[in-house]
Structure formats: structure tokens, C-alpha cells
């Protein structure tokens, strides 16, 4: 565990809230108090215990919100997972290179999952929705970030919601 060469990485089309894995990654925002897209789906399907734990985080260590590029775990409530790992992607900017923050989302989520002892993790296309990151580039960054992460877990699944994103991620992860 933890060795980059021992992870099995797969790219699938589907709904991240239906993945049976130890950890589901949420494309959250700094407030940790919910939103649309993946975030909305996770809170809706996982139930109120996730928000309760997020509020406790905000009342404690993350009083100022979860920084962009950071990750933190809560219960997964009623989701078929043990943990939700919340991470905050950068909003895409055409004038500022924010790739390192997006790389950090994947790396920090994997670090948190590794520390929890997770054996499997599911990622969405972080920042590629509301935060407007062009999907081809989001896919390239995700592939690079996951492959170069220092700490990993044995099974890594990237879950794409629509065909365009699925094809972009398939292409990016097929590159050697």
C-alpha cells in the first residue's frame, strides 16, 4: 500500500454516489456546507449526518473554511462508502495557472484516504463542472496528479458523469 506501482486505476462512466468504495471524493467548496453538482448529490444521497460533521469542522479546525487544494474526511452517511473526502478545487482561470491547486486536490485526497487505511477511492472530475475547468485539461491534470501522488491506495476509480468527460478522461489515462 502506498507504492505508486501497486494501484489499480480505472476510468468509468457513472454516478459517484453509487460507487461502493471505501472513500468517495466530493468536489466541494470552501464553506463545506453543500452546493450543486457532485456536492449536492453526495449530501442528498448520503443524508444529514455528512452536513452535521461538516458543520463541526467549520466550528473547529476549519473555521475559515477548507482551503482550495486541501482535503478533509467525514462520515459517508448512507452512501455505500465509509468516508467522504471533501476537497476544494480551484475555479478555472484563463489568466492564472491554477493547475498546482488542482493537482493538490488529488494528492491530498489520496493522502487522507491512505491515512484512513482506505483500500479504494472514487474521484469525480474535480473543477470540471461549476468551476469551469476545460474537461480535456482537467483530465490531463487528474491523470498526472494521480500517477505522481506520493501516497496512494490500492484501487483508484475516476467516475465521469457524461460521455464527453468520460472520453476525455479515458484518453488522458490511456497516455503512457
Active site residues: 39
Comparison of 2 and 99: residue with beta carbon closer to ligand AR6: 99
- The span of 1-9, 24-32, 76-84, 148-156 binding ligand AR6 (CB under 6 A) equals 24-32
Q: Is 174 exposed, middle or buried (0-12, 13-18, 19+ CB in 10 A)?
A: exposed
Does 112 participate in binding ligand AR6 (rule CB under 6 A)? no
Where in 29-88 is the site for ligand AR6 (CB under 6 A)?
A: 29, 35-39, 41
Binder among 21, 23, 24, 28 for ligand AR6 (CB under 6 A): 28
Between the CA of residue 126 and those of 16, 29, 89, what are the distances in Å?
Answer: 12, 11, 6
- The span of 15-23, 51-59, 108-116, 168-176 binding ligand AR6 (CB under 6 A) equals 15-23
- Are the C-beta atoms of residues 154 and 127 closer than 8 Å to each other? no
- The size of the interface with ligand AR6 (CB under 6 A), counted in residues, is 25
| Contacting residues for 96 by C-beta, under 8 A, at least 6 apart | none
Sheet holding 23-28, edge to edge: 8-13, 155-160, 120-123, 23-28, 83-88, 71-75
Task: By CB under 6 A, name the binding residues for ligand AR6.
Answer: 15-17, 27-29, 35-39, 41, 89, 124-131, 159, 161-162, 165
Amino acid at each position: 500500500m502506498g507504492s505508486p506501482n501497486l494501484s489499480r486505476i480505472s476510468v468509468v462512466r457513472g454516478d459517484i454516489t453509487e460507487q461502493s468504495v471505501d472513500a468517495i471524493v466530493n468536489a466541494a467548496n470552501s464553506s463545506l456546507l453543500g452546493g450543486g453538482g457532485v456536492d449536492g448529490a453526495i449530501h442528498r444521497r448520503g443524508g444529514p449526518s455528512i452536513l452535521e460533521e461538516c458543520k463541526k469542522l467549520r466550528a473547529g479546525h476549519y473555521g475559515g473554511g477548507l482551503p482550495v487544494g486541501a482535503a478533509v474526511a467525514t462520515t459517508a452517511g448512507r452512501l455505500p462508502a465509509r468516508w467522504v473526502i471533501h476537497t476544494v478545487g480551484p475555479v478555472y482561470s484563463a489568466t492564472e495557472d491554477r493547475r498546482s491547486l488542482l493537482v493538490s486536490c488529488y494528492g491530498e485526497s489520496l493522502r487522507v484516504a491512505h491515512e484512513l487505511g482506505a483500500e479504494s477511492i472514487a474521484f469525480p472530475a474535480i473543477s470540471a463542472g461549476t468551476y469551469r475547468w476545460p474537461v480535456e485539461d482537467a483530465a490531463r491534470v487528474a491523470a498526472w496528479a494521480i500517477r505522481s501522488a506520493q501516497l496512494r491506495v490500492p484501487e483508484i476509480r475516476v467516475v465521469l458523469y457524461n460521455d464527453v468527460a468520460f472520453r476525455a478522461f479515458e484518453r488522458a489515462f490511456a497516455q503512457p
